[in-house]
């Protein structure tokens, strides 16, 4: 095969077909969102980051990376600032589930039997689960019962040791990490041209009551759109995150896919 891309959509179909038809090559599908990430980062952070984790992991384990799902489920105020913010462009839950169900079934039709959905947007989680569940059910009706699907969010592979190095002044929790140290450090390491750290707004971590109110009260989201300050983000922290998450995902997929 000419070239050595891991991106499935860069292959001519006969090469793709030869790679996936026996079911042994895993396919990784990044799942993101178009969502505001403060004044200092672009709208497709949640697409760029899982796509790069998927690429690194695919190189290690001999997998292919599918085109990412570039829209996600609605931003929640306590984890993404809220769906009312400009730029944030989301799918209804039923649409998100339908898209994922269709994509999973299509890869199964091609022969793929090892799939991993690499999530980069917290709010997608249960809709990914539902899309997979419906796809597996319909595939069983078609007599396909041997598709294995792994679902993961890359930040779940950040271990305690890494957290201690990333947040020497105390860890605010993943839920307020939207546009904060985690995503900004990764973007600084991977796409420094897309980060304007001088425009980042410094503010204490957002606090919310232990309930939600609809319609959303916009004043509960910090005006910057971020839920914690990105000011402590660094390239070095980005490399710590890249290393620990890639290592963890590779180990998980080797364990699950053999």
183 in catalytic set: yes
245 contact partners, CB below 8 Å, separation of at least 6: 53, 154, 155, 157, 158
Chain positions 36 to 65 lying near Mn ion, rule: CB under 5 A, are 46
Q: Which of 35, 52, 177, 183 binds Mn ion (CB under 5 A)?
A: 35
The DSSP code sequence of 11-54 is S-HHHHHHHHTTS-S-EEEEE--B----SSS-TTHHHHHHHHHH
Contact 131, 139 (CB under 8 A): no
Which residue has the closest beta carbon to Zn ion? 46
123 is catalytic: yes
Q: Which is nearer to Mn ion, 29 or 136 (CB)?
A: 29
Q: Which of 40, 44, 52, 123 is catalytic?
A: 123
User: Is 52 annotated as catalytic?
Assistant: no
Least distance from Mn ion to the Cβ atom of residue 181, Å: 15
Q: Is 183 in the site for Mn ion (CB under 5 A)?
A: no
Judge contact between 136 and 147, C-beta under 8 A.
yes
- Least distance from Zn ion to the Cβ atom of residue 37, Å: 6
When asked if residue 80 is in the footprint of Mn ion (CB under 5 A), the reply is yes
Q: Which is nearer to Mn ion, 46 or 52 (CB)?
A: 46
Q: What does the alpha-carbon distance between residue 177 and residue 53 come to, in Å, rounded to a whole number?
A: 18
157 or 257, CB closer to Zn ion? 157
CA distance 132 to 119: 13
In angstroms, the CA 233 to CA 220 distance is 24
What residues make contact with Mn ion under the rule CB under 5 A?
Answer: 33, 35, 46, 80, 121
């Amino acid at each position: 095969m000419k070239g050595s891309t891991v991106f499935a959509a860069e292959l001519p179909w006969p090469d793709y077909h030869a790679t996936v038809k026996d079911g042994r090559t895993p396919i990784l599908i990044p799942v993101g969102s178009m969502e505001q990430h403060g004044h200092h980062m672009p709208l497709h952070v949640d697409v760029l980051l899982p796509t790069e984790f998927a690429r690194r992991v695919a190189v290690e384990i001999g997998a292919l990376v599918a085109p990412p799902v570039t829209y996600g489920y609605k931003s929640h105020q306590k984890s993404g600032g809220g769906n009312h913010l400009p730029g944030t462009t989301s799918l209804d839950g039923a649409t998100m589930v339908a898209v994922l169900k269709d994509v999973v079934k299509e890869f199964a039709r091609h022969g793929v039997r090892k799939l991993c959905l690499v999530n980069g947007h917290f709010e997608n989680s249960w809709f990914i689960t539902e899309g997979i569940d419906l796809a597996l059910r319909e595939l069983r009706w078609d007599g396909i019962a041997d598709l294995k699907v792994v679902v993961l969010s890359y930040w779940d592979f950040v271990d305690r040791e890494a957290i201690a190095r990333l947040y020497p002044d105390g860890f605010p929790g993943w839920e307020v990490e939207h546009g904060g140290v985690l995503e900004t450090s990764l973007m600084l390491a991977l796409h420094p041209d897309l980060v304007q750290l001088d425009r980042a707004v410094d503010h204490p971590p957002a606090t919310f009551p232990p309930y939600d109110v609809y319609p959303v009260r916009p004043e509960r989201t910090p005006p910057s759109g971020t839920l914690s300050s990105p000011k402590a983000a660094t390239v070095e922290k980005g490399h710590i995150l890249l290393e620990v998450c890639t290592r963890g995902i590779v180990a998980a997929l080797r364990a699950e896919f053999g």
